[in-house]
Chains A and B, each alone.
Chain A
Amino acid sequence: MATIAVPLGGQAEGHQADAVQRPALSEYLRWSVDHKIIGVQYGVASFLFFIIGGAMAMLIRLELWTPELDVMVSGAAYNSLFTMHGTVMIFLFIIPMWAAFGNFVVPLQLGAKDMAFPWLNAFAFWLIPPAAIVVLLGYFVTPAEAGWTSYPPLSTLFSGDGQTLWALGAHLLGISSIMGSINFIVTIFNMRPPQMTLWRMPLLCWAVLATSIIAVMATPFLAGALTLLLLDRVAGTTFFDAAGGGDVLLWQNIFWFYSHPAVYIMVLPGMGVLSEVLSVHSRKPVFGYRMVGLSSMGIAFVGFTVWAHHMFTSLQPELRIPFMITTMIIAVPTGIKMFSWLGTIWGGKIRFTSAMLFALGFMSMFVIGGITGVMLAALPFDIHVHDTYFVVSHFHFVLFGGSVFAIYAALYHWFPKITGRMMNERLGRIHFAFTYFGFLFTFFPMHIVGMLGMPRRVAVYDEAFANWNQLISFSAFVLGFSTFIVIYNIIRSYYRGPVAGANPWRALTLEWATTSPPPVTNFADDPIPFEDPYGYGTEASVAYLNAVEAAFDGRENRTILD
């Protein structure tokens, strides 16, 4: 066994120092072109927005505790509240949060020194704070109150200046997203080490590639739609005003041509994270690697053909059926991923780390979102539950049960690499329990109130749904509380967590073949990736992992310098 030669590339030498230097915290507050700094900047900023959006969700649930309007001063105030909740969570939390993990992890997984365009990378990030300020400022003038979907004419003829600011902010965020995605695509195509063919690339990179392709092709449609909305609002055009020859469905078409693929922008990276985490923590290769990678592309492609299912109650009836069919087809590549993940953990040696728990939680919850997705695709049933709490429940199962669980899994998985210290696993498990059950009991009952007749986006509702809503609100508060556990865990672990060492999970992908956190140039020289990013269980992989450990001198002797 010892005879297996393990070439690691140049990083083995010259890394025997006793201590690892962490970037000073002030580094994160200024302009930096280092992808690792930018990644953390994205991450911390998005997490702050998660807390803001979450606080709004708590207010929403407080208002819905009773069937009457009591917490908010008016229905309009409630409308602007959920408008901001949706906007913040989608544009300022989930999408930039994946840019965070993508930025930090992808160049490392590719063995690259940085992203292809470091300056553009920083620029894309620094568009977010001003955009966020513009969007949030809108809340304090006459706030946008047309929902995050901003259907005209409610968003054009019947809304205040906050709507204009909303559109401007979303515009900037879209441009930031396009620039970030161009960067990812070029990095993934051009910056791989020569030994790493596309088919030997970690699945997170596949997912980020698929996501970025969607983002560059779809986000321009959002830019187009927002341009028209702004023109209608400030320049007096009538693109969405029927009295001037415009068409209200025009917005719905263009908006959803972006916003449905945007759902995959929010979920696909999470699926990439899942492939990594499940494989590493169950010590088994990803089952059907090619199909998992290809299904990302399949979802990306089919995702462009389904947008009008958001318009099932407004589209001409004869156009509805084709979109029902394309929507149902999406279930097939999604199913492939689901079964492949089950195949991955089946027969493995599962370690119940916090990252793994959240990955398993993703599978357990996302499947519900998948099932209700097919139910919603079934046109006659959708007609009944369209625009109801059933839909609210469905997309939270996809975007919370999916994206957020995956974000937590990614956080617990890569936190050691980012900070050099481990997170507290015990707190992680407590966090998981609160999140899992809080989430389940918040969103599952929403299916039922939706089917019984409760529309979405209402501050007042029929008294018959009061008991259900109290259960939902109570669970939502539990879910809200769970966030404090992870915040405490992050802060505590950053300063006091055990030193992680280069490769605490004994993972094969390249980001673990350097110190934690990695030096500014990531690797001393071009690293050589292991032949198979998920080839666990072979003698060669054990030899490689031992060599990595030896090269970085184990974890005991390391100290972290701030």
Chain B
Amino acid sequence: MEDNRSNTPSISPAAIVVAAVFIVVSAIGINWFTSFVPVVLPAQASAESKSVDELFYILVIIGGVVFFLIQGMLLISVIFFRARGDDRSDGPTYHGNPLLELVWTIIPSLVVVFLAVVSFNVWSQNSEPKAAVNMINGEEIAIKVTGARYAWTHTYETGQLDPDGDPIVINSGDALHTYIGQNVDLELRTQDVIHSYWVPAMRVKQDLLPGNPATGGRPTEIRFTPIRVDGAEYPATYPIVCAELCGDGHGRMRGTVVVYEDEQQFLEQFYDPAIHAILNPPADPVLRGEIIIQEYVCHSCHVLDSLGWTSRTGPSLNGIADRAGERVPGQSAEEYIVTSVWDAAAFVVPGYTEQMAQFGPDQPDTYQMDAEQLYSIVAYLCTQGEQSDCDLENSTTAIPEAIQTVFGLEVDITFGQGDDEATDAEV
């Protein structure tokens, strides 16, 4: 064996020429490929995305060198070292070269060390907690995200109190509103399975983990700072995606990040109007219901054209008032809708499975719904149809009666704008 060590395979000059050409071509190739970075990654909408993309750039260059090196050597081998014609002889008995083996152990090791250091730097830079998070009007507030099958719910704990002394909490449904330069720091909680909160444009992702409610749950955190994207029109929107399989509607579990140009635009277009709406709810239960129903996760499973809902996991809500009267014998339309919201399992529409969440006064977080909210939602749903089965003329009595019949709860319908007494009674 040893005497064959010196029997090195000879390399023809042509191979060297090809190798040289190949190196030039691959250099051009890598350069060409990296010019595609903006095409293969979404807009850089956060401070974090800049450094992540720089890391990506480094990875692509090193990966490209390895790629072209190996494919090139393969190509050279298959072109120059093929057995020609009827050559049945064997190749040289060449068992290895310790020096070469050492080289291709050490160089990749050094590359790995380099990449580890670079990645670590980017990571520690991005994961460092920031001072002054979620600043609105000069104060830090808590912004919480709840994942429930199959929708995101964002809530802003404003720290302000309504005239009754209750805290004002803005529920912006599946949209996160923020502005350029705000250090966003979200507290993530799930109500059922594991979800993963991913904003591709921000290059951030974090799983939501089920925790024990008795010990305060298991909140996780996600942080990013939106930055200006050249050429974007503000407010700009970016998708939020659920990245961890959560069941039937996983693919539809999406949301939107709305980035405003500055804090002032944020306050004018989102924050102040939202607080105003909470302080001055419409007196009409139908209008109120239209707002409230959008704060719940209903849209993640149902179709409803008037609100632009498209998901088909559950039965369609289009024209529900037309069908409600005939669904269950002996139940009025109001009673049927009331039952279906709080106790969906009581009647499962043929062709669907029983998987809707339980809503009610005792349910957790985003499933929590008191009788007054139920009243408003039913009032709104009763208008969804051409010839509603509901008694629209007398909805202020028919719906409370239905709630009384089905769940045995009194509904005080005299709440609304500025009616302090009623709200007190409710508390």
- Please report A residues at the B interface, Cβ cutoff 8 Å: 69, 74-76, 79, 145-147, 151, 153-154, 157-158, 242-245, 248-249, 282-285, 287-291, 313-314, 317, 320-321, 324-325, 328-329, 331-332, 335-336, 338-340, 342-343, 345-352, 360, 363-364, 367-368, 370-372, 374-375, 377-381, 383-384, 386-388, 447-448, 451-453, 455-462, 532, 535-538, 541-542
Contact = CB atoms under 8 A, between A and B. Distances in A.
B356 interface: no
3 closest Cβ pairs, A-B complex: A347-B9, A458-B251, A453-B200
23 contacts: A79-B248, A145-B248, A146-B245, A158-B247, A284-B90, A285-B93, A285-B94, A289-B95, A314-B209, A324-B120, A335-B105, A336-B101, A343-B100, A349-B89, A360-B74, A364-B70, A447-B40, A451-B40, A452-B40, A453-B241, A455-B241, A535-B93, A536-B93
B244 A383 contact: no
Contact of B59 (A342, A347, A378, A458): A378
Given A336-B108, A351-B83, A541-B93, 13 more contacts: A69-B251, A151-B194, A158-B193, A243-B213, A248-B210, A289-B95, A313-B244, A350-B82, A352-B82, A374-B115, A386-B196, A455-B242, A456-B245
B115 A378 contact: yes
A452 B241 CA distance: 12
Interface string B178-195: 000000000000001110
A538 B92 CA distance: 8
Contacts of A285: 93-96
Given A153-B210, A154-B194, A313-B243, A283 B101 contact: no
B40 A75 contact: no
B194 A153 contact: yes
Nearest to A363: B74
Interface string B200-211: 110111110111
B90 A536 contact: yes
B331 to A, nearest CB: 27
Nearest to B217: A242
A338 B89 CA distance: 25
Nearest to A312: B205
Interface string B96-140: 110011001100110010011011101100110000000000000
A379 B122 CA distance: 9
B101 A364 contact: no
A541 B95 contact: no
B108 A332 contact: yes
B92 A74 contact: no
B59 A537 contact: no
Interface residues of B, number: 88
B77 A350 contact: yes
Interface string B231-271: 00000000101111111111110000000000000000000
Given A332-B105, A384-B200, A364 B243 contact: no
Contacts of B207: 313-314
B55 A380 contact: yes
A385 to B, nearest CB: 9
Contacts of A388: 243
A283 B93 CA distance: 9
A321 B123 CA distance: 9
Nearest to B351: A73
Given A371-B66, A386-B243, A537-B90, A331 B112 contact: yes
B56 A461 contact: no
B230 interface: no
A320 B192 CA distance: 25
A329 B112 contact: yes
A288 B55 CA distance: 34
A386 B201 CA distance: 14
Nearest to A321: B120
B91 A364 contact: no
Interface in B2-57: 4, 7-11, 40-42, 51-52, 55-56
B280 to A, nearest CB: 37
Nearest to B249: A75
A542 B90 contact: yes
B359 interface: no
A289 B95 CA distance: 7
Contacts of A145: 247-248
Residue picked from B115, B210, B249, most chain A C-beta under 10 Å: B210
B108 A335 contact: yes
Among A325, A349, A457, A541, residue most surrounded by chain B Cβ atoms (within 10 Å): A349
B394 interface: no
A314 B209 CA distance: 8
B407 interface: no
A145 B9 CA distance: 55
B81 interface: yes
Contact of A461 (B78, B87, B90, B251): B251
B209 A291 contact: no
B210 A291 contact: no
B80 to A, nearest CB: 9
Contacts of B104: 335-336, 339
Given A328-B116, A335-B108, A343-B96, A158 B42 contact: no
A349 B251 contact: no
B56 A381 contact: yes
Contacts of B206: 313
B312 interface: yes
B63 interface: yes
A242 to B, nearest CB: 5
B59 A346 contact: no
Given A285-B93, A384-B205, A452 B66 contact: no
A457 B77 contact: no
B71 A349 contact: no
A379 B250 contact: no
Contacts of A336: 101, 104-105, 108
- Chain B CB within 10 A, most for which of A320, A380, A535, A542: A380
A264 B1 CA distance: 32
B313 interface: yes
Contacts of B211: 242
A134 to B, nearest CB: 23
B77 A69 contact: no
B67 interface: yes
